[in-house]
Amino acid sequence: MRAFIALELSPQLRETLKTLSEDLRKKRGIKGKWVPPANIHITLRFLGNITGDQEKAISSLLEEVAKATRPIPISLEGLGAFPNPARPRVLWVGVKEGAEALERVHGKLEEGLSRLGFPPDDKAFKPHLTLARFKNPNLEVRRRVHAACRDMGDRPWGEMEVKAIVLYESILSPHGAKYRKVKEVPLGGL
């Protein structure tokens, strides 16, 4: 099973990001591979292919981390691109309030996954939501992404409370990925 650990968005924020994505595509003419609104989430850790035994161990780890974590208020703000707006590969919305708490959760997950034999994540964790990806963006796309990031770099998008950690299966198809919840663990706040 191809899997990842993530945080689900509230319906209100999902709708806000759907509108934002449509505006960026239609009004600003940014061409890329857009993430369907139903698939937008905050990834804590991509796991790759895991076995049934690993799934059970990861589910136990999620319970351990969630039990020790209070619900986390977050706010979404800004528009940016990795590696940067002039050379975009990923267009994202950032997490402002709650980013440090999400980094702590990520750190606990990394420690637990290391104990389970997973190699450390090679990228620094920056809480964000991916809106679009660009394989080889042409000059016009790069200019439009750069302008959008400049114009919306500190715009607030909304708030919510993170109440659970979710283990998802990513099912690949010719029409794109579909995500299935394997395990959802409510945050316990001890």
Domain locations along the chain = 2-186
Q: For a pLDDT cut of 70, what percent of the chain falls above it?
A: 99
pTM of the model: 0.93
Per-residue pLDDT at 121: 87
Q: Is 2-186 assigned to CATH 3.40.50.1700? A: no
Going by the DSSP 8-state scheme, the letter that residue 109 receives in this structure is H
Per-residue pLDDT at 15: 96
Take residue 144 and report the two structure tokens written for it.
Answer: 């439009």
Cα angle 69-75-81, degrees, rounded to a multiple of 5: 110
Statement: residue 189 has pLDDT above 80: no
Per-residue pLDDT at 123: 84
Statement: residue 47 has pLDDT above 60: yes
Annotated catalytic residue 146: no
Statement: residue 104 has pLDDT above 60: yes
Annotated catalytic residue 175: no
Section 39-58 average pLDDT: 96
Q: Which of 41, 106, 146, 175 is catalytic?
A: 41
Give the Cα separation of 76 and 20 in Å (integer).
12
Between 16-30, 128-142, 167-181, the lowest mean confidence (pLDDT) is in 167-181
A 10 A CB-CB count for 138 gives 9
Mean of all residue pLDDT scores within the chain: 95
Q: Using CB atoms within 10 A of its CB, is residue 29 exposed (0-12), middle (13-18) or buried (19+)?
A: exposed
Predicted confidence band of residue 190 (pLDDT cuts 50, 70, 90):
low
